[in-house]
């Protein structure tokens, strides 16, 4: 699979904002979370796939995140709830009030036994997938910024070997946790991700929006946005930093001033051959980097800000959750 092969197979415009997406193993069915509070299934193998709303009480606000573990889908929302769904029946299985503030991200462990959520109550919580029981909660993220405003906990990732969890917040603080003891094993600071404007506009922008461990679980990529002059807009450089998880050493520090905005998603390629970042400002981007040299070797502009990105195990199918559209891309060779 070559990044330069990445091309669009389908585009499905919509009226809402789509924040997250996950597909079935065969990439024939897609689930998305929407700003209309709905969780939808799309049979994307069909020529004109229709959205089918999953049934149940559902969410009452933006569905910001989801993760699929076999036939179970778990979604998180600004309504503070996590909801379990059965992807075969399209029915809601359970819902829990999981956090005291807005849920930003949910992921599942590699063995699909647990799901992990982060929210603006600054807590990271680990849940048993089967029972919905909370297994642990921990935080290394102060509720207030140094400037006395509410902080936000946007990002969480789990390493492919399942041994580490990373959490990243508004002010650029990353904590790496042992996934068994839930003790902190490393801390990383990325202060450039947080822009505080003390004079012109007197508020902040930015924050760590994406985290991803490398395939060998030894490196952690951190995505966000660099310093912004005018914080009214997302007019700052897309910023990517890569750290050695053991030493905390920063190995890469990259900024893209061509296609600006937040890096919302990071994907490590097969054998860590490349790093894919996706996000945007008013529009979107995808950028591919060499994780050794930091060289950007392929980039595409997208018409809409990319909030979520899912790719299959073979790195062939990519589904994009974006502002008022959903896209299906492929990295397979184009058919002649």
Partner 1 sequence: MNLNAQPSLNRRSSLNRRSLLRLAGAASTATLAADMSSIEALASPALTESLKQSGKRVILLWLAGGASQLETWDPKPGRLTGGPFSKIQTCVPGIEISELLPKMSSRLKETAIIRSLNTKIADHGNAYQLMDTGRTPEPSLKFPHLGATIAHELGQRDSQVPDYVTMYTSTEGRRQGTAGFLGGRYNPMFLTDQMMPANIKRLDSITEIDHRDRADLRDLMANIFDRKQSHPMYDAHNSAYDRVRGLMASDHLFDIEREPQSVRNHYGPTQFGQQCLIARRLAEAGVPFIKVARAWWDSHGQNFETHQELCADLDHCMSALLDDLKARGMLDSTLVITLGEFGRTPDINGSLGRDHFASAWSCTLSGCGIRGGSVFGKSDEDGKTVIEGEMNAGDLFATIFAALGIDHHKEFMVGSRPIPIADFDSEPCFDILA
Q: Which of 305, 317, 320, 327 binds partner 1 (CB under 8 A)?
A: 305
d(CA 212, CA 221): 5
Contacts of 202 (CB under 8 A, 6+ apart): none
Binding segment toward partner 1, per CB under 8 A, in 1-9, 22-30, 177-185, 198-206: 198-206
State the nearest-atom distance from the C-beta of 198 to partner 1, in Å.
9
Q: Which of 42, 122, 186, 205 binds partner 1 (CB under 8 A)?
A: 205
Q: Which of 9, 36, 96, 251 binds partner 1 (CB under 8 A)?
A: 36
State the nearest-atom distance from the C-beta of 81 to partner 1, in Å.
12
Residue pair 81/93 in contact by the 8 Å Cβ criterion: no
State the nearest-atom distance from the C-beta of 152 to partner 1, in Å.
7
Contacts of 316 (CB under 8 A, 6+ apart): 1, 27, 330, 331, 332
Residue nearer to partner 1 on the CB measure, 15 or 247: 15
State the nearest-atom distance from the C-beta of 246 to partner 1, in Å.
33
Residue pair 302/286 in contact by the 8 Å Cβ criterion: yes
Binding flag, residue 234, partner 1 (CB under 8 A): yes
Please report where in the chains the tokens 């490590």 appear, as a residue: 268
Site mask for partner 1 (CB under 8 A), range 58-87, x = bound: --xxx-x-------------xx--------
d(CA 26, CA 203): 45
How many CA atoms, within 13 angstroms, populate the side-chain half-sphere of residue 163?
A: 11
Residue pair 117/124 in contact by the 8 Å Cβ criterion: yes
State the nearest-atom distance from the C-beta of 304 to partner 1, in Å.
6
Contacting partner 1 within 156-185 (CB under 8 A): none
Binding flag, residue 239, partner 1 (CB under 8 A): no
**Burial of residue 215, with CB atoms counted within 10 A of its CB: 0-12 exposed, 13-18 middle, 19 or more buried:** middle
Binding flag, residue 261, partner 1 (CB under 8 A): yes
State the nearest-atom distance from the C-beta of 265 to partner 1, in Å.
15
Question: For residue 333, what is the DSSP state?
Answer: P
Residue nearer to partner 1 on the CB measure, 29 or 104: 104
d(CA 107, CA 92): 18
C-alpha pair distances (Å), 189 with each of 74, 192, 295, 307: 30, 9, 23, 24
Residue pair 154/122 in contact by the 8 Å Cβ criterion: no
Q: Which of 137, 253, 281, 312 binds partner 1 (CB under 8 A)?
A: 281
Residue nearer to partner 1 on the CB measure, 199 or 247: 199
Binding flag, residue 12, partner 1 (CB under 8 A): no
Contacting partner 1 within 92-151 (CB under 8 A): 102, 120, 147-150
Q: With CB under 8 A, what is the number of residues at the site for partner 1?
A: 41
Residue pair 74/82 in contact by the 8 Å Cβ criterion: yes
Radius of gyration of the chain (CA): 19
Q: State CA 125 to chain mean position distance.
A: 16
Residue nearer to partner 1 on the CB measure, 77 or 214: 77
Binding residues for partner 1 (CB under 8 A): 15-17, 35-37, 60-62, 64, 78-79, 102, 120, 147-150, 152, 199-205, 207, 231-235, 261, 280-283, 304-305, 323-324
């Amino acid at each position: 699979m070559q990044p330069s092969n990445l091309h669009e197979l389908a585009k499905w415009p919509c009226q809402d904002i789509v924040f997250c997406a996950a597909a079935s193993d065969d990439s024939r069915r897609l689930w998305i979370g929407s700003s209309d509070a709905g969780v939808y299934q799309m049979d994307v193998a069909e020529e004109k796939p229709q959205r089918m709303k999953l049934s149940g009480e559902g969410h009452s606000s933006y569905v910001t995140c989801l993760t699929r573990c076999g036939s179970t889908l778990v979604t998180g929302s600004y309504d503070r709830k996590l909801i379990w769904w059965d992807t075969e029946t399209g029915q809601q299985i359970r819902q829990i009030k999981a956090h005291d503030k807005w849920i930003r991200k949910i992921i599942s462990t590699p063995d699909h036994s647990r799901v992990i959520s982060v929210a603006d109550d600054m807590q990271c919580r680990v849940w048993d997938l089967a029972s919905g029981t909370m297994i642990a909660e921990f935080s290394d993220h102060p509720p207030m910024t140094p400037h006395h405003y509410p902080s936000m906990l946007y990002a969480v990732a789990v390493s492919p070997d399942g041994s580490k969890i990373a959490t990243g917040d508004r002010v650029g603080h990353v904590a790496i946790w042992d996934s068994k003891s839930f003790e902190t094993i490393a801390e990383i600071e990325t202060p450039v991700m947080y822009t505080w404007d003390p004079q012109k506009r007197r508020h902040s922008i930015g924050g760590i929006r994406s985290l991803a461990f490398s395939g060998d679980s030894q490196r952690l990529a951190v995505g966000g946005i660099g310093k912004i002059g005018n914080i009214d807009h997302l007019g700052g450089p897309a910023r990517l930093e890569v750290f050695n998880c053991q030493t905390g050493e920063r190995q890469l520090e990259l900024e893209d001033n061509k296609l600006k905005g937040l890096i919302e998603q990071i994907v490590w390629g097969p054998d860590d051959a490349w790093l894919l970042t996706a996000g945007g400002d008013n529009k979107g981007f995808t950028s591919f980097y060499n994780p050794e040299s930091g060289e950007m070797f392929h980039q595409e502009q997208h018409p809409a800000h990319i909030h979520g990105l899912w790719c299959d195990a073979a790195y062939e199918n990519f589904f994009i959750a974006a502002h008022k559209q959903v896209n299906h891309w492929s990295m397979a060779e184009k058919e002649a």
